[in-house]
Chain A
Amino acid sequence: MMQLLINGLIAGSLAALIAGGLALVYGVLGVFNMALGQMALITGYCTWWFHQVLHLPLGISVICGLIVGGLVSWFVFEIFVNPFYKRHRFLPLVTTIALSMILDGLILLIFEEQPHAIIPGIKDTFQVMGAWVSSMQILLVLLTVLLMMIMGYVLHSTSFGRKIRAVVQHDQAAMSLGIKAPLLHRYIFIMSGVLAGLGGIYLGIDQSLTPVFAFPITIKAYAAIIAGGKGNIWGAILCAYLIAFLEQFAVGIHWFGLFYIPAGYQQAVALLFIIFFLLFRPNGLFAGRARTA
């Protein structure tokens, strides 16, 4: 049981990073970024390149990777989102789908098909209350939680965060108070790219990076933000964890002492649960209204 919880935490933290990034952009700009999974992978791949090819220390590689990820996000915002999202908020849906295909191709071209791991090999594991974990996993989970706490602090206890929340909740009112909403939009988009990029690095450290993984990441993050109440960042993050726990419990529990749910249905079970759930709470688990922060 303990192991299931830990497994859920490990999988959930990864999902939460991506879902958090997605929810941030959806919440603030009202835009679905379909290329977020690819952007996450690019940051992961760059970190791998800095660490495994240039042999820079891990910490520096992560920072360099995030810088590249941030620059890519900025570029993406200026070219694929900014010119379109004010005309209609579904336009970026199309442009970012196109972008995701371009990035898929670029990743294949530059990093090739074979998988890459930022830290290859087994991590030294030990037992905590009967559950096996590695110190790297504990570090990753704690860093994710820390990051979420920092994000929470920034959003709720700083002037910058208040401005962001103001823009999310009533962008015209925020602008008529002198808040530069378009500038915040740019910051938010870059921040979401960096957050998702951390997810890519997490994936590259805990598992491995493969070009085809971008789409499944994106889809699961969407499930989390829909279940969490569209645009509700905390709802999305909590639901990312919830989905991860559900997936682990679905196949990890001997249901009624009779059977296990076949592993092939692992992902479907969690998503079905969410569909079922939304039938009763169409606005999502944590939403009073749509798009709040």
Chain B
Amino acid sequence: MKRLLAPLFALGILLSACSPTADNGTGPIKIGFIGPLTGDANTYGSDTYNGAQMKVDEINEAGGINGRLIEFIVEDARCTGTDAASAAQKLINIDKVVAINGGQCSGETLAVAPIAESAKVPIISGGSTSPDVTTAGDFVFRNIPSDALAAGATASYLQENGLTAIALITENTDFAIGFRNSLIENMGEDSVVFNELVEPGTKDFRTLLTRLQDAEFDAFIANGQSVAVEAAMAMQFRELGLDHPIFSNNAVVSASLSEIAGEAVEGLKVVMPPSEGADANKFDTFAAEFTALHGPAASSMTYAANSYDIMGLLAKAIAEVGTDGIAIRDYLYGLDGYDGTVGRFSFDQNGDVVGIALELQEVQDGVFVKVSDIAVE
């Protein structure tokens, strides 16, 4: 991948070096969008696009930003790095956008980051949760909490509840391994009494779990990336007569988890990005408007709301400091707080969101429900 992208980067730097200033102060203000509008992850793409377009329409109907309309330029990246990189090249070098909402998938964002960095165009993602996005660059922001935060929050919750010895089975995928590593980092090596990595798609855990019958531990972390794997782990855990609490990660939150695993996942706990904002009214109003326009969210309303907030925040930034990328970036870092539909948030020195509380969800009667908010340090 890197080798493929390198010539593109080089081209990008060349083009941006010899191009005139992006914005001449008149005409519409161009803002780009990169997301998976087609392909396997298209549900995220359509929700984030629809959320963003809603805000753009609102702003333009109200007269634009300081009298200038927003021109919203949308590119499909199909959740792949290569497509995201070429989309970013086009938006930055040909369209000369001021800022980009995207990518949505972590892979997209990570591929766009170096291009945005060299062209000094800030990007904000509402859907990328990979811990790698934290260190992706100076111009990269996101208003969705990193998986590392979710893992950290899971670790704190476990410790606060006296569940200090954990047994972990991890599916061998980037996401699940990232979650495991953050969890171990936060809890310390000593609290992990069982730590096994299984091939993706494994469905027979009986023997591994048999070893747990003799182990002393407080909680089982079923760290799968797919619902089928997660369901098999939980079912076989319970079928071996083990009654410890089960925790998992947010990749497995899906209605079909309970459809398959039934009572095995009752009480399973997961730390999730918020299902709605701190101000429930504000979020509900947004959700109702969104649903009226586009029907229910294809993935989750949170992604649509994040994307809606990103457009609002960018408009506010441009209204206050103009269209210069560096100025917008500095504004975002210095942001005291933006009152979005998902709550009041700002960014830390890495561009990671601050102020969005995570929440603890639990399966009750087959449905994931919110148990409590979890503050993020």
Direct contact of A and B (CB under 8 A): yes
Within 8 A of B (CB), among A198-252: 207-208, 210, 212-213, 216, 247-249, 251-252
Complex alpha-carbon distance, A132 and B357, angstroms: 41
Complex alpha-carbon distance, A8 and B197, angstroms: 20
Please tell me which stretch of B105-113, B179-187, B204-212 contacts chain A, meaning at least 4 of its Cβ atoms lie within 8 angstroms of it.
B204-212
Please tell me which stretch of A27-35, A121-129, A145-153, A168-176 contacts chain B, meaning at least 4 of its Cβ atoms lie within 8 angstroms of it.
A121-129
Please tell me which stretch of B65-73, B149-157, B235-243 contacts chain A, meaning at least 4 of its Cβ atoms lie within 8 angstroms of it.
B235-243
**A212 in contact with B231 given A132-B240, A134-B239 (CB within 8 Å):** no
Complex alpha-carbon distance, A114 and B241, angstroms: 27
Judged by a CB distance under 8 angstroms, whether B38 is at the interface is no
**Nearest Cβ in chain B — how far from A146, in angstroms?**
22
Are A208 and B232 in contact, CB atoms less than 8 angstroms apart? yes
**A122 in contact with B208 given A115-B231, A210-B226 (CB within 8 Å):** no
Are A122 and B263 in contact, CB atoms less than 8 angstroms apart? yes
Partner of A120, one of B169, B196, B206, B260: B260
Are A262 and B210 in contact, CB atoms less than 8 angstroms apart? no
Residues of chain A within 8 A (CB-CB) of B213 are 3
Are A122 and B262 in contact, CB atoms less than 8 angstroms apart? yes
Are A115 and B228 in contact, CB atoms less than 8 angstroms apart? yes
Residues 185-208 of B, flagged 1 when their CB comes within 8 A of A and 0 if not, give 000000000001111011110111
Partner of B240, one of A4, A125, A267: A125
Are B197 and A125 in contact, CB atoms less than 8 angstroms apart? no
Judged by a CB distance under 8 angstroms, whether B87 is at the interface is no
Residues of chain B within 8 A (CB-CB) of A116 are 259-260
Complex alpha-carbon distance, A260 and B172, angstroms: 18
Output the residue of B228, B239, B254, B259 with the most chain A CB within 10 A.
B228
Residues of chain A within 8 A (CB-CB) of B207 are 3-4, 7, 247-249, 251-252
Residues of chain A within 8 A (CB-CB) of B77 are none
Complex alpha-carbon distance, A213 and B228, angstroms: 10
Residues 242-267 of B, flagged 1 when their CB comes within 8 A of A and 0 if not, give 00000000000010100111111000
Judged by a CB distance under 8 angstroms, whether B227 is at the interface is yes
Are A251 and B208 in contact, CB atoms less than 8 angstroms apart? yes
Are A210 and B228 in contact, CB atoms less than 8 angstroms apart? yes
Are A266 and B263 in contact, CB atoms less than 8 angstroms apart? no
Residues 126-164 of A, flagged 1 when their CB comes within 8 A of B and 0 if not, give 010000101000000000000000000000000000000
**Nearest Cβ in chain B — how far from A218, in angstroms?**
13
On chain A, the number of residues with a Cβ less than 8 Å from chain B's Cβ atoms is 34
Closest to B196 in A: A263
**Nearest Cβ in chain B — how far from A117, in angstroms?**
4
Judged by a CB distance under 8 angstroms, whether A59 is at the interface is no
**A263 in contact with B232 given A120-B262, A125-B241 (CB within 8 Å):** no
Are A267 and B264 in contact, CB atoms less than 8 angstroms apart? no
Complex alpha-carbon distance, A249 and B232, angstroms: 20
Are B210 and A207 in contact, CB atoms less than 8 angstroms apart? no
Residues of chain B within 8 A (CB-CB) of A10 are 204, 206
Complex alpha-carbon distance, A123 and B236, angstroms: 9
Residues of chain B within 8 A (CB-CB) of A266 are 198-199, 202
Judged by a CB distance under 8 angstroms, whether A11 is at the interface is yes
Judged by a CB distance under 8 angstroms, whether A264 is at the interface is yes
Are A115 and B227 in contact, CB atoms less than 8 angstroms apart? yes
Closest to A250 in B: B207
Residues of chain A within 8 A (CB-CB) of B240 are 3, 125, 132
Are B197 and A117 in contact, CB atoms less than 8 angstroms apart? no
Complex alpha-carbon distance, A208 and B198, angstroms: 17
Complex alpha-carbon distance, A127 and B213, angstroms: 13
Closest to B239 in A: A125
Are B198 and A127 in contact, CB atoms less than 8 angstroms apart? no
**Nearest Cβ in chain B — how far from A187, in angstroms?**
32
Complex alpha-carbon distance, A252 and B262, angstroms: 27
Complex alpha-carbon distance, A287 and B35, angstroms: 57
Are B204 and A207 in contact, CB atoms less than 8 angstroms apart? yes
Residues 306-328 of B, flagged 1 when their CB comes within 8 A of A and 0 if not, give 00000000000000000000000
Are A122 and B256 in contact, CB atoms less than 8 angstroms apart? no
Are B169 and A263 in contact, CB atoms less than 8 angstroms apart? yes
Output the residue of A4, A127, A263 with the most chain B CB within 10 A.
A263
Partner of A117, one of B172, B239, B260, B263: B260
Partner of A260, one of B211, B226, B260: B211
Residues of chain A within 8 A (CB-CB) of B198 are 263-264, 266
Partner of A11, one of B196, B204, B235, B260: B204
Complex alpha-carbon distance, A122 and B234, angstroms: 9
Closest to A126 in B: B241
Complex alpha-carbon distance, A249 and B210, angstroms: 11
Residues of chain B within 8 A (CB-CB) of A132 are 239-241
Residues of chain B within 8 A (CB-CB) of A264 are 172, 196-199
Within 8 A of A (CB), among B29-85: none
**A3 in contact with B259 given A125-B240, A127-B241, A207-B203 (CB within 8 Å):** no
Are B239 and A213 in contact, CB atoms less than 8 angstroms apart? no
Are A208 and B197 in contact, CB atoms less than 8 angstroms apart? no
Residues of chain B within 8 A (CB-CB) of A114 are 227, 254, 256
Closest to A11 in B: B204
Are A263 and B241 in contact, CB atoms less than 8 angstroms apart? no
**Nearest Cβ in chain B — how far from A140, in angstroms?**
13
Output the residue of B197, B213, B240, B241 with the most chain A CB within 10 A.
B240
Are B201 and A122 in contact, CB atoms less than 8 angstroms apart? no
Q: Which residues of B pack against A, CB within 8 Å?
A: 169, 172, 196-199, 201-204, 206-208, 210-211, 213, 226-228, 231-232, 235, 238-241, 254, 256, 259-264
Pairs A–B under 8 Å by Cβ, sample size 9? A3-B207, A4-B207, A120-B261, A125-B239, A207-B228, A210-B201, A213-B201, A263-B197, A263-B198
9 closest Cβ pairs, A-B complex? A121-B262, A115-B228, A252-B207, A7-B206, A263-B196, A117-B260, A114-B256, A248-B207, A210-B228
